[in-house]
Structure 1
């Protein structure tokens, strides 16, 4: 495993950030009546994926805390997938874009699960990372 010095260097954070930015941009085109019920919710959950990764990074000294925050990130990713489905079914996001983003979130979740399962390998105790 290559030495990672900052959470922004993690592939999962880089790709989740890009997906969150795409969702933020797309949600600006949702109808005004969806401002609080859908637009705000999907933006919050997609951004929270990265926020929880950054929190996990700060807690990596303690593998259980690190894994817990990665689980929070996974939970936010799952919520985002739910909102993507609503956006698509309501006609605010094309099915193609929603499915492509959903597939990316599926990959983030797999990465997060793998990281959480190997939390001790990311621990700063012993100076591994």
Structure 2
């Protein structure tokens, strides 16, 4: 699917993957112990949702390449943060290792896809 046919950020494969995985993390985090609500649970849910939110903001800023790239970089940073919180959840035995590996792999895919958007930002922006 070429970028000429994409009209909304919700159509981007990376957005759909990030949204799906954020919802998956939310559901899994509901099993974390209550004493982690303010720390790990809130952090992992917030960071995973921020990947999607920053991607949506980037889409809205396509008129300006630097602003578009900055929001994509923010989304990349959030994806990296999510991987760190997943590692903590696995280490604390709140997530099993297999689920943790799969989640980290999904967020690596998201991170790489965001990087490709940054690398090809000229094709996605309206700035001349």
TM-score normalized by structure 1?
0.95
> What are the equivalent positions in structure 2 for 1:51-90 lying under 5 Å apart?
51-90=53-92
Give SS of 2:94's match: coil
| Per-residue deviation, 1:123 | 1.1
Q: What do residues 9-54 of structure 1 show as CA deviations (whole Å, max 9, x unaligned)?
A: 0000000000000000000000001011100000000000000000
Residue-pair matches, total: 126
1:111 matches 2:110: no
Query: Any stretches of 5+ residues in structure 2 without a counterpart?
Result: none
In 1, the alpha carbon distance for the partners of 2:122 and 2:61 equals 12
Which consecutive aligned stretches of 4+ in structure 1 deviate over 3 angstroms post-superposition? none
TM-score normalized by structure 2?
0.95
> What are the equivalent positions in structure 2 for 1:1-129 lying under 5 Å apart?
1-2=2-3, 3-125=5-127
